[in-house]
Amino acid sequence: MHRVVRAVFAALVAAAIPLSGFAYPDKPITLVIPFSAGGDADLAGRNLAAAAQSILKQPLVATNRVGASGAIGSQVVKEAAPDGYTLLVARVGSNAVLPALKKDTPYKWNDFTFLGLLELNPMVCVVHPESPHKTVADLGRAIKAQPGKLNYSSSGVGTILNLGSQLLLQSFGVPPNAAVHVPYKGGGEAALAVVTKDVDFSCGNLTSALALITGGKLRPIVVTTPERVKDIPEVPTAREAGVPALEAIVGWSALYGPPKMAPALVARWAEVLQQVSKDPNWLRGEEKIGSIPRVLGPAETEKFVESQFRVYQELGQKLGIELK
């Protein structure tokens, strides 16, 4: 009997060895970035790769697999072997908004192995410096007083910029058409539309608007992150401005793996990300690209992403938004 127990134990130990922190990784890891070079996902992925490979002693090869609003790269990872050698830089748009609003997205929000949240990307609502609306409260009063008069820009229907402005209107207690939506091709154009006074306000990525803000061409009235942003410390958070629901609208990057990764691999990456979170070079990189470090463990990440998915699903249902 004892021989049987020892044999079973030996077999279990042998099976576990390849998944231990000592055996993994023994070759380069492919880090799939589902968006083009130079964007938030790309910058986040390459900053992570530089920090993590010094810990793992193997290269993390960042590979841009673009298309279908991030769905192509995400699907590549979903279909990969769950051996930890193909990972995904997940984004709010591709991995929360898309599954929530596009019925034929080839994956669900939870069709992956959650390894950890990496960062938050501040969203900021802006007006023109000459605008009479100096605060969120001013803007809300103006919209309530003259529904349909003011307009706002975004990067398109169903994008986080569009949904952010809609959640702001919802916080004011006004209908979705109380301000007119004017879509543009991207976040940069949406921000410039406020500069040129083609629209009255916009809620978008801080990275797209920061140079215009610091150059005095835009006036920020609220940030959506839980804490004030270092680059614009005078700007109140959503909670401070009286619109706490707006906190849900925030960009983020996370690290995912294919479905059914072994618990030992998940634990290994949780450990690596904790080390990354204390790396001065990674922290400097995050500051340089305008992101807020926010490393969470696998279970916390799954909970966070589920809450994000629910926000966009409910907002889409209320607004009748379904992406084609």
CA distance 204 to 221: 12
The type of residue at 221 is I
Specify the residue for token string 């599954």: 99
Answer for the pair 40, 91: CB distance below 8 angstroms, yes or no: yes
Length of the chain: 324
Q: Which domains does the chain have, with CATH numbers?
A: 28-120+251-319 (3.40.190.150), 123-248 (3.40.190.10)
Structure tokens at 92: 């709010």
pTM for this model (two decimals): 0.84
Q: Which long-range contacts (CB under 8 A, 24 or more apart) does 313-320 make?
A: 313/100, 313/101, 315/163, 315/166, 315/167, 315/170, 316/100, 316/101, 316/158, 316/163, 318/170, 318/176, 319/166, 319/176
> DSSP of 142-163, one letter per residue?
HHHHSTTT-EEEESSTTSHHHH
Question: What is the bridge-based pairing of β-strands 151-154 and 201-205?
Answer: parallel
Question: What is the bridge-based pairing of β-strands 86-91 and 251-257?
Answer: antiparallel
Judging by beta carbons within 10 Å of its beta carbon (0-12, 13-18, 19+), is residue 81 exposed, middle or buried?
Answer: exposed
Gyration radius from the chain CA atoms: 22
Q: What is the pLDDT along the chain (324 residues), one digit of tens a residue?
A: 444 444 433 334 333 434 444 589 999 999 999 998 888 899 999 999 999 999 999 999 999 999 998 999 999 999 999 999 999 999 999 999 999 999 999 999 999 999 999 999 989 999 999 999 999 999 999 999 999 999 999 988 888 889 999 999 999 999 999 999 999 988 889 999 999 999 999 999 898 888 899 999 999 999 998 889 988 999 999 999 999 999 989 999 999 999 999 999 999 999 999 999 999 999 999 998 888 999 999 999 999 999 999 999 998 998 888 888
